[in-house]
Amino acid sequence: MSDLVAIILLVLCFYPVLPIMAAVMANEAKPKKNIVIGCTLPLTAQHDPRVQGICRDYKRRIWLWFFILTAAIVPAFVIKRTSLALSWLFFCVLVALVMFFVVFARFNVRLRALKAQEGWVTPYSGAVVVDIGAKPEELGKPLSRWLFIPPLIVSLIPCVLALTSENVGERWAGLVMAGTFALCCALSLVFYPLIFRQRADVVNSDSGVNAALTRVRRYNWGKVWIAMAWLSALLAVTLWFFIDNGLVFMIATLVYTFALLYVCLRAEFAVRRAQERLPRESGARDYVDEDQYWVWGLFYYNPNDRRTMINDRTGMGMGLNMARPAGKIVMGICAALLFLLLPAMSGWFIVMDFTPREARIEDGVLYFEHLTEKYEIPLGDISSLELLDDLPSSRRVAGTGMDTLCEGRFDVEGYENVRISLDPQQDCYIVVLTGEGLTRIFNLMSEAETEEFYAEIEAALKS
């Protein structure tokens, strides 16, 4: 795969994050459940020219950042190394997360200041409101859990087939790939019932509207979980039966990603449209205001609420109560994964890509080292030595696969128990086979170095 193709695939994976985030964040300027940019406002205030002006400025700022970040992605196409391009894309995604939320927080503060200035308050401000008028049967009936069993069974078929494979590399690759998506199916089965344990939506005194909003949210959540289960099952089967076809692997993964995004976004905006339309049409003038518990309209902090998982104010998502210890822990873990793990991964990829691969013969032992990939092979254990111009058809089982570095456990046609550490763009590979049936394939930083070291091994074996 050429550098350009690899980078185009990376951009296809990362870029959709930007327009999706921009569209969702810009949509916050539309009133939903009487909430505009995270600030609760009465119906009359929602049409106030000053509020409308703040909303227009907010949307302009969001889309301005979208175009800035889109332009920032362009350098990825001219960066020569996949590790650097990947790190740059990680950086752009993190900047997008920060800037979109900073814009949201700043305009939320402006709206709250206007709200306080005009005295737009409600008797329900600061209360945790529950609608006791809504009957349980009106809040939506959960789908049968049995609906999640067929996709789970389908996703386990490749796992069973992988276990019966006599090819070790194929067995592990199949288990890792199919097992991952079987886990997604299992998670759908486990997490779907949690939706019905969440507090019902309460937007005003109209129990019919509150019940309808709850039904819409739960129904669309159900569609998402069912879709994820079936898409994961189908992808697991596809990847298993085309395990040796890299093109099908990439196409299937992209189709899965975009299909799941389509289902999620369609469900999200269906819920948002209902949250925008139903409160407006109900005619109720009272409304629930929990602004004091939402920091910048983004983070829920309510010591009086015992729940850890809460519904997002708008849309169908879920959030965390930061006043609960579990909420702080989970949020801390998520923040660490985003702002510590991603940069650390980027740095590790760059270090892997640019650290030289070194080899030497010392005291009758062949030593090869590249960071954590190390081989120590006594010359007396070497049963065969080859110098290849072309790398046979191979498939990664566990390890790294970049345009300039492939490393780890691979399934290579014609060889068994293979570990490799090499630059696939070179046309020179040393293959070392041992009497124990192990295969090590590697090259150094240039073809000349690789050929020179191969000659050194040959001379050492003859001496």
CB 59 within 8 A of CB 19: no
Mean pLDDT of 214-226: 84
**What is the distance between the alpha carbons of residues 439 and 311, in angstroms, rounded to a whole number?**
53
For residue 80, the model assigns a pLDDT of 74
Q: Name, in order, each residue with C-beta under 8 angstroms of 53's C-beta and a sequence gap of 6 or more.
A: none
Report how far residue 410's alpha carbon sits from residue 83's, in angstroms, rounded to the nearest whole number.
Answer: 20
Least confident of 41-45, 124-128, 382-386: 124-128
Place of tokens 């189908």: 234
Residue 167 has pLDDT above 70, yes or no: no
Q: What is the mean pLDDT of residues 415-422?
A: 87
Closest to 109 measured CA to CA, from 21, 41, 37: 37
What is the model's pLDDT at position 58? 94
45-59, 143-157, 262-276: which is most confident = 45-59
Region 12-20: mean pLDDT is 81
What confidence category does residue 124 fall into, taking pLDDT thresholds of 50, 70 and 90?
low
Residue 56 CB contacts under 8 Å (≥ 6 apart), including other chains: 29
Q: Are the beta carbons of 443 and 426 closer than 8 angstroms?
A: yes
386-411 pLDDT tens trace: 888 888 887 777 777 777 888 888 88
Q: How far apart (Å, rounded) are the C-alpha atoms in residues 209 and 201? A: 9
- Written as one letter, the residue type at 189 is L
pLDDT in tens, 178-197: 778 888 888 888 878 777 77
Q: How many CB atoms lie within 10 A of CB 116?
A: 10
- DSSP element (H, E) containing 386: strand 382-388
Q: 98 is written with which tokens?
A: 């920060």
Structure confidence at residue 105 as a pLDDT band (50, 70, 90): very high
pLDDT band at 110 (very low <50, low <70, confident <90, very high): very high
CB 395 within 8 A of CB 410: yes
- The token duo for 76 is 């990825």
Mean of the pLDDT values across residues 103-121?
Answer: 88
Residue 68 binned pLDDT confidence (cut-offs 50, 70, 90): very high
C-beta neighbour count of 316 within 10 angstroms: 24
> What is the reported pLDDT for 65?
93
Find, among 153, 160, 185, 186, the residue nearest to 175 by Cα. 160
- pLDDT tens string 290-317: 778 888 888 888 888 787 777 777 776 7
CA distance 196 to 311: 11
pLDDT the model gives residue 134: 57
In three-state secondary structure terms, 415 is: coil
pLDDT at 298: 84
Question: On the CB side of 237, how many CA atoms lie within 13 Å of its CA?
Answer: 13
Four-residue CA torsion sign, 91, 96, 102, 103: positive
Q: Would you say 384 and 395 are in contact if contact means Cβ atoms under 8 Å apart?
A: no
pLDDT tens for 337-389 read: 878 888 888 888 888 888 899 998 888 889 999 988 888 888 888 888 888 88
Which residue type, as a one-letter code, is found at position 254? L
Q: What pLDDT is recorded for position 284?
A: 65
The one-letter code for the residue type at 322 is: M
Between 134 and 396, the higher pLDDT residue: 396
The three-state secondary structure class of 139 is helix
Q: Reply yes or no on whether the pLDDT at 246 is more than 60.
A: yes
pLDDT of 51 over the 70 cut? yes
Tell me which residue of 225, 415, 257, 353 sits closest to 249, measured CA to CA. 257
